Amino acid sequence: MKTFFYAIVFLIGSQFAIAQDNPSFTDQEIEVNKFINGTLLLPNGVAKPNLAIIIAGSGPTDRDGNQNFLKTNNLKKLAVGLTKQDIATFRYDKRIVKQIRKGNVDKNMMFDDFVTDAISVVEYFRNSDAYNRIYIIGHSQGSLVGLLAARDRADGFISLAGAGQSIDMVITEQVIKTAPMFKDDTIRIFDVLKEGKTTKDYPIALSSIFNLDVQPFIRNWMKYNPQTEIAKLEMPILIINGTKDLQVSEAEAKLLHEAAKSSTLKIIENMNHVLVTIEGDDLENSKSYNESGRKLAEGLLNELTQFIK
């Protein structure tokens, strides 16, 4: 059940200062709008660099890739690693993070709000005319958010551990694998949501997914099929997944690749969902979700850098 727990946390639900004296890049705090704050890293000595906009996965995930009890700093490491390769990066707190910190969470928040935020970020930097090309890197849920925002706006798109199916299909498969006794309930509830309705009839064990307050968000999210959306992109596309990903399998990445025939697919050996290397079992994998000292998986930064450059 531990695999199931971590999958559900990421499906539904700390910023560290960067040294000012780093010789290879400088950092700036950017407020895009009232919802979005983030960190821009600029490589020193590069007049008009490429820019990678990093979009976080599901839940109240901050710009560094962390949640309250899940701290990996994976997105911060990603940003710093790319900027050291002369690629500017911008990563931002999801709007729910800012709301939680202010104690004023919008209960009517929808998946589309995250897409709106990503579009605002891309257009903010596009209008600055300070960058050569703009790429979107979307991690997990951020993959779908990013590919929706990228169309007609970005110069390239990168999916990191992004699902190839709609979220209802992804969750149903997770339940079948990890808690098969709830398969029929899961399918029944999703059928209700597809009809535009909500329901109070769900097992308590599935409340983290189907809480009544969450159902409208899920309903909004599940209307998007990543394969359909990625097929609309007319730009270079890189799809990356790891062989030790407990939440998004290699099969999901292959679905995206098949839908976007000209895309590049890279499968990184032993990389898990939070982008680190796992040599052991599922227990080590689960523990890594709260181990910020781990390095990014071998080869990940190289694949990203080569694609962007």
Q: Which residues pair with 25 in a beta bridge?
A: 43
pLDDT of the residue at 136: 98
Pairing of strands 25-31, 37-43: antiparallel
300: pLDDT strictly greater than 70: yes
Pairing of strands 237-242, 264-268: parallel
Q: d(Cα 274, Cα 253) in Å, to the nearest integer?
A: 15
pTM over 0.95: no
Could you give the percent of the chain with pLDDT greater than 70? 93
Query: Average pLDDT, stretch 66-88?
Result: 96
Q: Which of 1-15, 73-87, 188-202, 292-306 has the lowest mean pLDDT?
A: 1-15
Under CATH, what is the fold of the domain 2-166+224-308? Answer: Rossmann fold (3.40.50)
Query: Average pLDDT, stretch 54-82?
Result: 95
For residue 9, give the nearest of 214, 252, 297, 180 by alpha carbon: 214
Mean pLDDT, rounded, of the chain: 92
34: pLDDT strictly greater than 50: yes
Query: Average pLDDT, stretch 180-195?
Result: 97
pLDDT of the residue at 4: 41
Q: Which residues pair with 292 in a beta bridge?
A: none
Residue 291: strand, helix, or coil: coil
29: pLDDT strictly greater than 50: yes
pLDDT of the residue at 23: 75
Query: Average pLDDT, stretch 273-299?
Result: 96
16: pLDDT strictly greater than 90: no
224: pLDDT strictly greater than 80: yes
68: pLDDT strictly greater than 70: yes
Long-range (24+ apart) CB contacts under 8 A made by 4-7 are 4/174, 4/175, 4/177, 4/178, 4/179, 5/286, 6/246, 6/247, 6/286, 6/289, 7/174, 7/178, 7/246, 7/247
Q: Tell me the pLDDT band of 22, cut-offs 50, 70 and 90.
A: low
In the chain, domain spans: 2-166+224-308
